[in-house]
């Protein structure tokens, strides 16, 4: 089976993705920033299902630490076939009120770290590999107060489209997934109950997304069934956008 690296996979959408790929038989590098206990639980879940996994601490905004995740995959499992770039940070404010610090943090995490991860993947993934980057539905909805965050995700989508053309000759596919509002700690900290209730009424499928919903999309894109899909932005918002 394949070897996968999932950044930011100790909780939320990243955790669901790591566990789903592990259940599929992939060996998984479970990346975490500070919560080793949460990462160990993900590893335990994968191993209990018969898979292989290892927890790996790294701050992905540190280039050497991010490269180290690729080194670890190669050392522990012999190579790397799948990168799921999931780490991201959100800061919501109107453009008039957003600070330089907001901009620097969001672009360092969402754009620079993704660029480095994609560069490493382009040079180190085995042929027929899969790259999936978790973007955001804000690039399609243009919600007020999402200017900086949305701009960072739009930049990432451009990197994905270009990389898909650059490494397609090696049969490596590169795609974005754009989640809508998804029930995670991050969502709860950024949206009020009233806002979430309103989003639910606007979503054709009538609910907030779950991490497993996004994990299933990623599982498809990393499978052989998606071998003909590359350079695409797959919407995962229940019809909201």
Q: Using one digit for the tens of pLDDT, what is the confidence trace for 62-96?
A: 999 999 999 999 999 999 999 999 999 999 999 99
pTM of the model: 0.95
Question: What is the band of 223 on the pLDDT scale with cuts at 50, 70, 90?
Answer: very high
Catalytic positions, written as ranges: 149
- The mean per-residue pLDDT over the stretch 100-122 comes to 98
- The mean per-residue pLDDT over the stretch 56-64 comes to 98
- Say yes or no to pLDDT of 188 above 80: no
- Rg of the chain in Å (alpha carbons): 17
- Domains of the chain (ranges, CATH numbers): 3-236 (3.40.50.720)
Q: What is the dihedral of CA 140, 145, 146, 149, to 10 degrees?
A: 170
**pLDDT per residue as tens digits for the range 24-54:** 999 999 999 999 999 999 999 999 999 999 9
């Amino acid at each position: 089976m394949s070897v996968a690296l999932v950044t930011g996979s100790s909780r939320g959408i990243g955790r669901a993705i790591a566990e789903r790929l592990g259940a599929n038989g992939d060996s998984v590098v479970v990346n975490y920033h500070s919560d080793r206990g949460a990462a160990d639980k993900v590893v335990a879940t994968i191993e209990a299902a018969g898979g292989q996994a290892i927890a790996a601490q790294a701050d992905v905004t540190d280039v050497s630490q991010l490269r180290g995740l690729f080194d670890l995959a190669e050392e522990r499992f012999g190579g790397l076939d799948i990168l799921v770039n999931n780490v991201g940070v959100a800061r919501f404010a109107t453009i008039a009120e957003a600070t330089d610090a907001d901009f620097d943090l969001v672009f360092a995490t969402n754009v620079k770290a993704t660029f480095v991860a994609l560069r490493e993947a382009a040079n180190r993934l085995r042929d027929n590999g899969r790259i999936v980057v978790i973007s955001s539905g804000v690039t399609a909805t243009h919600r007020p107060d999402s200017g900086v965050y949305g701009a960072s995700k739009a930049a990432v989508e451009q990197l994905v489209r270009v990389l898909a053309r650059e490494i397609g000759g090696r049969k490596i596919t590169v795609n974005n997934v754009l989640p809508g509002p998804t029930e995670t700690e991050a969502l709860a900290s950024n949206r009020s109950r009233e806002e979430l209730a309103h989003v639910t009424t606007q979503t054709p499928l009538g609910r907030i997304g779950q991490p497993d919903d996004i994990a299933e999309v990623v599982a498809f894109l990393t499978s052989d069934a998606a071998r003909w899909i590359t350079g695409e932005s797959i919407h995962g918002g229940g019809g909201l956008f």
